[in-house]
């Protein structure tokens, strides 16, 4: 990953699901060597085909481990340890495999556990070699639900207002979860959620403990296109403070960075999901926020 590439786009094509194969759906044509994805409209006219170019294209049969390396995520972790803030976002239609890519399974780890494992393993190795004198880490986990910021690591056990009876919305306590206010820190030139829980971590195991704790509280619902559709955007963040070992009498240098891993809710079309009530309202909010995010990414990439 060069310093000139502020935004990189990787497209992962998942295999067809059983019900999609039954309905004679077909895969897009993914060409990893050329970095292209080609689609064909319902017409038999060859002119109806369209091709799109991306930084990385990952074909359906590629494993989670190979996907991690193909997308340059190891290089991104290395950059974070040098003081570069990085973000990884899974963006796509509902049911396209975003959560699988970010979380993975017990047998096929996704991006989040791999990034945590590599980050702390590399820090430990650098400390053993005398490059790093000490390091500190802290995590946070929030979900953006219907334009409200909710703390997934909060000890509060209240319900999620407006979410009905979806999984993760019905806390065992009384009342509702309170949305956090977004504030601007002029000194750091960044935004933050006021009152967000930020427990310290020293190992990947500790970080993943908090990740799984938060996952259990995110709002999930079923509709016609996805039996377990995320109804909120989830942001898991690792903040690092690394003290480098001084050499030749020089003072120790402190490096800070942030790794943000984002599992976005999927874009939805009501005519396909058959969503009604609270789920439909969530869809509207999801699509609106994804549209704004897309405009920001397009602007940033065009000015990179």
For residue 83, give Cα distances in angstroms to 6, 125, 155: 15, 17, 31
Least confident of 30-39, 82-91, 213-222, 295-304: 295-304
Least confident of 56-70, 206-220, 279-293: 279-293
DSSP conformational letter for 2? -
Q: How many CB atoms lie within 10 A of CB 74?
A: 15
Taking only the tens place, the pLDDT of each residue in 218-232 is 876 655 455 556 778
What's the whole-number mean pLDDT along residues 48-54? 85
Which pLDDT belongs to residue 229?
Answer: 62
**CA–CA distance, 50 with 73 (Å, rounded to integer):** 29
- Angstrom distance (rounded) from CA 43 to CA 52: 19
Least confident of 47-51, 140-144, 210-214: 47-51
The per-residue pLDDT of the chain, averaged, comes to 83
Does the pLDDT at position 48 exceed 80?
no
Look at strands 29-31 and 36-39 and give their pairing. Answer: antiparallel
Domain ranges of the chain: 1-62, 63-302
Which range is least confidently modeled, 18-32, 82-96, 156-170? Answer: 156-170
Per-residue pLDDT, 217: 85
Quote the tokens at residue 222: 């079923």
Answer for the pair 304, 4: CB distance below 8 angstroms, yes or no.
yes
Predicted pLDDT of residue 163: 65
Give CB contacts under 8 A, 24+ apart, made by 191-194: 193/140, 193/142, 193/149, 193/151
* Mean pLDDT computed over 106-135: 95
Instruction: Determine the 3-state secondary structure of 67 from DSSP.
Output: helix
Pairing of strands 226-230, 220-223: antiparallel
Q: Is the pLDDT of residue 189 over 60?
A: yes
Highest mean predicted confidence (pLDDT) among 39-53, 82-96, 272-286:
82-96
CB of 147 closer than 8 Å to CB of 289: yes
- Select the more confidently predicted residue: 275 or 296: 296
23 pLDDT higher than 70: no
With 0-12 CB in 10 A as exposed, 13-18 as middle and 19+ as buried, what is 162? middle
Considering the domain 63-302 in this protein, what is its CATH number? 3.40.850.10
Q: Taking 60 as the threshold, does the pLDDT of residue 64 lie above it? A: yes
Q: Cα 205 to chain center, whole Å?
A: 19
Task: pLDDT band for 28, please (50, 70, 90 cuts).
Answer: confident
If one counts every other C-beta atom within 10 angstroms of the C-beta of residue 283, the result is: 24
pTM over 0.95: no
> Which token pair is 266?
């999927």
Predicted pLDDT at 165: 55
Cross-strand pairs, 135: 242
Percentage above 90 pLDDT, the chain: 45
Question: Which pLDDT belongs to residue 167?
Answer: 58
């Amino acid at each position: 990953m060069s310093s000139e590439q502020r935004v990189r786009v990787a497209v992962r094509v998942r295999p067809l699901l059983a019900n999609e194969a039954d309905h004679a759906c077909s895969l897009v044509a993914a060409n990893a060597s050329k970095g292209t994805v080609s689609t064909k409209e319902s017409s038999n006219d060859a002119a109806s085909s369209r091709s799109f170019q991306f930084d990385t294209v990952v074909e359906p049969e590629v494993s989670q481990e190979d996907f991690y390396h193909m997308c340059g995520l190891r290089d991104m972790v290395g950059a974070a340890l040098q003081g570069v803030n990085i973000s990884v976002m899974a963006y796509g239609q509902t049911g396209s495999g975003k959560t699988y890519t970010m979380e993975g399974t017990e047998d096929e780890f996704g991006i989040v556990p791999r990034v945590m494992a590599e980050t702390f393993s590399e820090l430990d190795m650098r400390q053993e070699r005398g490059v790093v004198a000490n390091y500190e880490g802290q995590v946070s986990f929030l979900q953006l639900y219907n334009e409200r910021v909710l703390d997934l690591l909060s000890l509060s056990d209240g319900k999620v207002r407006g979410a009905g009876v979806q999984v993760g919305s019905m806390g065992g306590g009384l009342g509702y979860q309170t949305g956090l206010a977004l504030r601007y820190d002029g000194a750091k030139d960044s935004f933050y959620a006021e009152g967000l829980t930020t427990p310290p971590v020293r190992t990947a195991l500790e970080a993943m403990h908090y990740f799984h704790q938060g996952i259990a509280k995110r709002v999930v619902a079923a509709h016609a296109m996805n039996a377990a559709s995320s109804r909120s955007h989830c942001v898991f963040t690792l903040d690092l403070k690394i003290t480098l070992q001084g050499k030749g009498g020089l003072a120790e240098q402190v490096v800070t960075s942030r790794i943000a891993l984002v599992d976005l809710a999927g874009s939805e079309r009501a005519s396909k999901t058959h969503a009604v009530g609270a789920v439909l309202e969530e869809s509207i909010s999801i699509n609106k926020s994804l549209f704004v995010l897309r405009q920001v990414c397009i602007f940033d990439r065009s000015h990179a």
